[in-house]
Amino acid sequence: MEAVSNAKKVAGNPTFHFLETIGSHEISSMAIYLKKLMDTGHPLTATVERLMTPENETDLSRGLIVWLVSQAAKCEPSEDILPEQKKLAEITQMIHTSHEIHSGIINLETPNEDLELGNKLALLCGDFIQSRSSVYLAALRNLKIMDLYGQAISEFSASEFVELVADEKHSELDKWSQQTKMRYGSLLAHSCQSTLMIGNNTELLLCGKHFGLEIALAWQANVTLQSYKKATNKEEHVLTKVFPGASVQEAVSRFQVVRDNHVDAALKMANEFPKNEAKLALCNIARVLKC
Question: Is a pLDDT exceeding 60 seen at residue 85?
Answer: yes
Q: How far, in Å, CA of 4 to CA of 283, rounded?
A: 11
Q: What is the 3-state secondary structure (H, E, C) of the chain?
A: CHHHHHHHHHCCCCCCCHHHHCCHHHHHHHHHHHHHHHHCCCCCHHHHHHHCCCCCCCCCCHHHHHHHHHHHCCCCCCCCCCHHHHHHHHHHHHHHHHHHHHHCCCCCCCCCHHHHHHHHHHHHHHHHHHHHHHHHHHHCCCHHHHHHHHHHHHHHHHHHHHHHHCCCCCCHHHHHHHHHHHHHHHHHHHHHHHHHHHCCCHHHHHHHHHHHHHHHHHHHHHHHHHHHHHCCCHHHCHHHHHCCCCCHHHHHHHHHHHHHHHHHHHHHHHCCCCCCHHHHHHHHHHHHCCC
Q: What percent of the chain has pLDDT over 90?
A: 58
Closest by CA position to 122, among listed 210, 49, 25: 49
Q: What is the pLDDT of residues 47-77, one digit of tens each?
A: 666 655 554 555 568 999 999 999 999 988 7
Range from 90-94, 163-167, 205-209 carrying the lowest mean pLDDT: 163-167
Question: Is a pLDDT exceeding 90 seen at residue 104?
Answer: no
Q: Tell me what pLDDT residue 23 has.
A: 47
Q: Tell me what pLDDT residue 25 has.
A: 54
Question: Is a pLDDT exceeding 80 seen at residue 115?
Answer: no
Mean pLDDT of 167-183: 91
Question: Is a pLDDT exceeding 90 seen at residue 126?
Answer: no
Q: Please, which pLDDT band fits residue 117 given cuts at 50, 70 and 90?
A: confident
Q: How far, in Å, CA of 98 to CA of 129, rounded?
A: 6
Mean pLDDT of 103-111: 74
Q: How far, in Å, CA of 169 to CA of 8, rounded?
A: 43
Q: What percent of the chain has pLDDT over 70?
A: 85
Question: Is a pLDDT exceeding 60 seen at residue 139?
Answer: yes
Higher pLDDT, 67 or 117: 67
Work out the angle at residue 82's Cα, subtended by the Cα atoms of residues 81 and 88, and round it to the nearest 5 degrees. 100
Please answer whether residues 72 and 197 qualify as being in contact, where contact means their C-beta atoms are separated by less than 8 angstroms.
no
Q: How far, in Å, CA of 21 to CA of 255, rounded?
A: 40
Question: Is a pLDDT exceeding 50 seen at residue 164?
Answer: yes
Q: What is the pLDDT of residues 197-237, one digit of tens each?
A: 999 999 999 999 999 999 999 999 999 999 999 999 999 89
Question: Is a pLDDT exceeding 90 seen at residue 257?
Answer: yes
Q: How far, in Å, CA of 218 to CA of 264, rounded?
A: 9
Decide: pTM greater than 0.75: yes
